[in-house]
Structure 1
């Protein structure tokens, strides 16, 4: 019985040594600018207010506790007709009593181009009425495995009649 436990111990030591020698390589830095096409109303809305119950009119981004679900088209250029690179899918929660901050939980799901099949995971407090908002990149998959970094959101165009806001997203991440 003692020799069996010694062999098991030796196997575990060898496994530990092998795993610690495995290398992921050097971190790469990727920077990009993409554009969220945010349809905030109408029949093709990509943002839906979940709570408090939305009954016509305008979305209540300033109301504490308001929760929104999003599935925005993400393009490589400013224009909605430019090439689609991803979808921004997730949720926003107005988390400050005065409505000044939202908590952002969004996955950028790349479905075209160089990063197809990869994701970036975004999370953090966003000062929603600031011109430029910064949020953390807390992870990723595919080509962005082990991603960490930051991104900035800047609303660069709003057309209330068309229910469209274009949000420029500048991303800088380190990943393997």
Structure 2
């Protein structure tokens, strides 16, 4: 922990090498949080980059009141949710969308030569459905699901990250899971094998 304190002090003094060393062990988890909130790797990569920039710019605001990792993941979840709101306000266009020309409509054709085994397709369908369902949750519920069920943080850690009580965290997790189950059960035929009454 002494090494971490020294790295924090050096990073706060503007040392980029210290910052890189300090953030290295957290990068995968930051991307994972971003991916779970964004639902796709392109937006997640942009979000994770934005998180790193925000941490770098605001590292002087870290006062040591909590663990450094707790502060990082608070910045990550809040930044990713802010970015998600920005993306929704300014949607991008899909390659599947037809383009109107003088000769008529055309659509992009991109060949996918990747193998598509049935099991892989089923897993992807479930993963996509869960990501879509998570995206439909409110911000507080989305945060707790991502932090607890997808990232494995303890109730205590989540309470620190979200700056609320453990009881509030447990309550939000319970409501979020219930809401997720309802969303996913809307299409019971597809998910009959994955949910038990």
Q: TM class by shorter-chain length?
A: under 0.3
TM-score, normalized by length of structure 1? 0.22
TM-score, normalized by length of structure 2? 0.20
Higher strand share: 1
Computing the radius of gyration from Cα coordinates, the structure with the larger value is: 1
